[in-house]
Amino acid sequence: MKLKQLCILHAFILILSVSACKKYGYEVPDGYPDDSQNKAEGTIDTNMKLIDKSMYAKARVFPGLVDQSEPRVKDAQFTLDLNFTDQNAQNLRISVAPSPQYSTGYYAAPGELIKIVVPAGVDGLTVQIGAHTDNLAGKSPLLRDPVIYNRKQLVSGVNYIRNLYGGHIYILASFAYANPVTFTITGAVVSPDFILGQTTDADWVAKVKASQVPWLELRAKRVIFTIPRDKVMATFNSSEPFTNPTAVFTRWNDVFDLDYNAWMGLSDNAPDIRDRSPQSQWRGILDIQLTNGYGHNGFPFVGLNDSYWFASFTSLNSITTSSGQWGTYHEFGHNCQQGSVWSWSTLGETTNNLFSFKVANRIGANYNILHPAVSSGFPKALAYANAAGTKNFDTDAAMVTPDESPFMRMLPFVQIFEKYGYGAMTYLYTQARHADRLNTNDVTKHNFVYEKLSDYTQTDLSPFFGAWGILISDAVVAKVNAKYPLLKTPLWTYNPLNKTGGTGTIKYTTTVVSVSSSQSGDGTPEALVDGIVSSSSFWHSNYGTATSTNTLGFPINIVLGTGSPLPIQVKGVTFAQRQNNSGGYVKDVEIFTSNDNVNYVSAGTTTLPQNTAVYNFNFPGGVVSTKYVKVVIKNGVSTVYANLSECNLIKP
């Protein structure tokens, strides 16, 4: 008897356990995908009246509940165009690309079962409930639960899914369908979304006021923002009511069409898939807590749910003047960086901000108000670029200042854009997408930018890169130098904040790096390059004391520097014997060139005329790209000493 009762009790407990598993309809215990691939027991309960209220308290805090008075739809239909080109980050060579995530216009109330019917023959789709995909695991203290969205694969026929926190309902596609697909949905509520070109401003305002759905979407062809309804409602009685989404999102479409896609060289119908614009919209969302920082990039980009980020999405004044927009452009810019090809390691917080300047340039905004660190950082960067000496753009202390470094490092790019056109960025991005290989270190990325911008400007920009201390390889300089004339104007002096500088002619002053023999008190080595041919301006080799002969002898080496931090074009050497010479004429010389003052290559030999006339020796092989020129005096008329009035470089 007891054994029979025990068996009945066990059977009853087993029934309860299975019922509990079935009650809320999860194939995995917590309702989220299980990476272990373990198959959970139980099947979904299709009773649409059952509501799991276990997370109501947390859902009420975020993202919010849906009032029971809000109508739940039954057998409503929606149609999606799933014919897309998968423009992933790999073929665009950017950090993050939009993925095929389709808004349905429906919202799931917390804990309520959603039924979706998929047409026969349609597979490869996933349903997602919840727009807030930041996983806050490990954050403390938590303002919301770490994971508040879930996904489930869809099959042809009837599908059920619920989310304990609720959220927008999306369809995710693995591959494209040529024809639109029509779905049937039951149990959801209608989200008061705005769709550019389909919803009028007045109708949308009325829908927002009538709705009890806590979040809504603002949708345009290029971008979708997910925002809280309560913040929209709050603006209706403010100084800038958000009642004009058509104007605002027409502007946003322009930004992504013109200042992101087109600026990167992307278009909808480009024959090469690498040049095709993303077929899905970029997405931005507000959240009460983020995995990282005040805002971070990704798909979607996430900003803190405060007045600044809300206004950056919705304020016409903000997007029209570019004031207050820095954060939004900044994060979308991160998505678009090409760090695997040309945006090198110290530009992580720099090249993403160039999109802000593109927008500002197009709309005629004041650069001084884009960001406080622009107006303070640019003058410091100008001072650095115009300073003499050896530099390293990436490591010099002058370029590593708190808060301002990313903005200082923007200046060379903005100088190129302002003086040569913003199409330089389009060319750079396009060339990066079509490059044969990725670049794995900073120097190869420097070289890529130098070579491609020189191609775009049809000018050898090595002096510009030298002034900024952006290190580039001599072999690449020689390659570019052979194709294009050298930059003639000091572009690095241009100030975009007041549109001044960057004019005049670059002057490369030849310097005397070293002389192997020189007589103290009788002429100076500096006289060799002063451009003065006279009896009072000369160099004299060592001749020891009054009672001794030349103690150093021949050959005598004179090393000249071009005055440029990078190799530049040199045509030859100009000589002038000392004008009141008394027997110290120079005779045979050999001339060498080098980029490191260590390894030299002969550029030719010559014999100087034995008179005081100026003598120009042009290199027999033509113009040479070099940093140093060494003149080796093999002998002279006198075996005791030699002297010259001039030994200078001839530059094209």
Closest among 251, 84, 43, 257 to 173, alpha carbons compared: 84
The reply to whether 506 falls in a domain is no
The reply to whether 154 falls in a domain is yes
pLDDT, average across residues 142-169: 97
Closest among 587, 576, 584 to 634, alpha carbons compared: 587
pLDDT greater than 70 at residue 502: yes
The pLDDT score that the predictor gives to residue 402 is 80
pLDDT band of 184, cuts 50, 70, 90: very high
- pLDDT, one tens digit per residue, over 54-88 is 999 999 999 999 999 999 999 999 999 999 988 89
The pLDDT score that the predictor gives to residue 23 is 32
Q: What are phi and psi of 96, to 5 degrees?
A: -140, 135
Q: How many CA atoms lie within 13 A of 343 on its CB side?
A: 24
Strands 181-186 and 114-118: antiparallel
Contact by Cβ (8 Å): 357, 416 = no
pLDDT band of 8, cuts 50, 70, 90: very low
The pLDDT score that the predictor gives to residue 582 is 64
pLDDT greater than 90 at residue 3: no
Cis bond upstream, residue 379 (ω within 30) = no
Same domain, 517 and 487: no
Domain with 634 in it: what CATH number? 2.60.120.260
Q: What are the distances in angstroms from CA 460 to CA 120, 451, 502, 568?
A: 61, 8, 16, 9
The pLDDT score that the predictor gives to residue 129 is 98
The reply to whether 330 falls in a domain is no
The pLDDT score that the predictor gives to residue 517 is 93
**Who wins on pLDDT, 382 or 507?**
382
Same domain, 423 and 564: no
The pLDDT score that the predictor gives to residue 32 is 42
Domain with 118 in it: what CATH number? 2.60.120.1250
Same domain, 518 and 482: no
Residue with tokens 């198959």: 39
pLDDT, average across residues 379-387: 96
The reply to whether 628 falls in a domain is yes
The reply to whether 503 falls in a domain is no
pLDDT band of 273, cuts 50, 70, 90: very high
**Who wins on pLDDT, 272 or 8?**
272
Number of domains making up the chain: 3
Same domain, 172 and 103: yes
pLDDT band of 264, cuts 50, 70, 90: very high
- pLDDT, one tens digit per residue, over 327-347 is 899 999 999 999 999 999 999
The reply to whether 328 falls in a domain is no
H/E element, 481 = helix 474-481
Give the span between the Cα atoms of 104 and 77, in whole angstroms. 10
End-of-domain residue from the set 291, 307, 323: 307
pLDDT, average across residues 397-401: 92
The reply to whether 315 falls in a domain is no
The single-letter DSSP state of residue 537 is B
Closest among 325, 193, 324, 205 to 256, alpha carbons compared: 325
Strands (E), 233-392: 282-287, 295-296, 301-304
**Who wins on pLDDT, 544 or 247?**
247
pLDDT greater than 80 at residue 235: yes
Strands 568-570 and 511-515: unpaired
The pLDDT score that the predictor gives to residue 16 is 33
pLDDT greater than 80 at residue 40: no
- Sign for the CA dihedral angle at 46, 50, 51, 54 comes to negative
Q: What are phi and psi of 49, to 5 degrees?
A: -85, -15
Residue with tokens 């373990």: 38
The pLDDT score that the predictor gives to residue 545 is 57
**DSSP class per residue in 381-436:** HHHHHHS-S---TTT-GGG--TTTHHHHTTHHHHHHHHHH-THHHHHHHHHHHT-S
Mutual angle of helices 245-254 and 201-210, in 10-degree steps: 110
The pLDDT score that the predictor gives to residue 113 is 97
Cβ atoms within 10 A of the Cβ of 388, count?
8
The reply to whether 29 falls in a domain is no
Residue with tokens 């390889």: 473
Same domain, 466 and 533: no
Both structure tokens of 426: 């389009």
Contact by Cβ (8 Å): 264, 429 = yes
**DSSP class per residue in 61-77:** HTT----TTSPPPSSEE
- pLDDT, one tens digit per residue, over 433-492 is 999 999 999 999 999 999 999 999 999 999 999 999 999 998 899 899 889 998 999 999
| Least-confidence region, from 214-223, 322-331, 639-648 | 322-331
Cβ atoms within 10 A of the Cβ of 363, count?
16
Same domain, 459 and 588: no
pLDDT greater than 50 at residue 12: no
The pLDDT score that the predictor gives to residue 38 is 45
Q: Which domain holds residue 415?
A: 337-493
pLDDT, average across residues 227-253: 97
**Who wins on pLDDT, 595 or 243?**
243
The pLDDT score that the predictor gives to residue 6 is 38
End-of-domain residue from the set 290, 307, 324: 307
- pLDDT, one tens digit per residue, over 540-573 is 998 865 545 556 789 999 999 998 878 888 999 9
Contact by Cβ (8 Å): 308, 327 = yes
H/E element, 492 = none
Q: What are phi and psi of 104, to 5 degrees?
A: -95, -20
Same domain, 225 and 278: yes
**Residue 129, beta-bridge partner list:** 150, 169
Same domain, 68 and 123: yes
**Residue 561, beta-bridge partner list:** 511, 628
The pLDDT score that the predictor gives to residue 406 is 95
Domain with 407 in it: what CATH number? 1.10.390.30
Q: Three-class SS of residue 326?
A: helix
Q: What are phi and psi of 210, to 5 degrees?
A: -85, -15
Same domain, 460 and 350: yes
Interior CA angle at 276 toward 275 and 281, to 5°?
A: 135
pLDDT greater than 60 at residue 315: yes
Same domain, 457 and 527: no
Contact by Cβ (8 Å): 180, 76 = no
The pLDDT score that the predictor gives to residue 48 is 85
Mean pLDDT over each residue of the chain, to the nearest integer: 90
Same domain, 111 and 231: yes
The single-letter DSSP state of residue 370 is T
- pLDDT, one tens digit per residue, over 585-628 is 999 999 999 988 999 999 999 999 999 999 999 999 999 989 99
Interior CA angle at 555 toward 554 and 556, to 5°?
A: 100
Same domain, 300 and 223: yes
Closest among 637, 521, 619, 632 to 578, alpha carbons compared: 637
pLDDT band of 49, cuts 50, 70, 90: confident
End-of-domain residue from the set 493, 519, 541: 493
The pLDDT score that the predictor gives to residue 206 is 98
Q: What are phi and psi of 161, to 5 degrees?
A: -155, 145
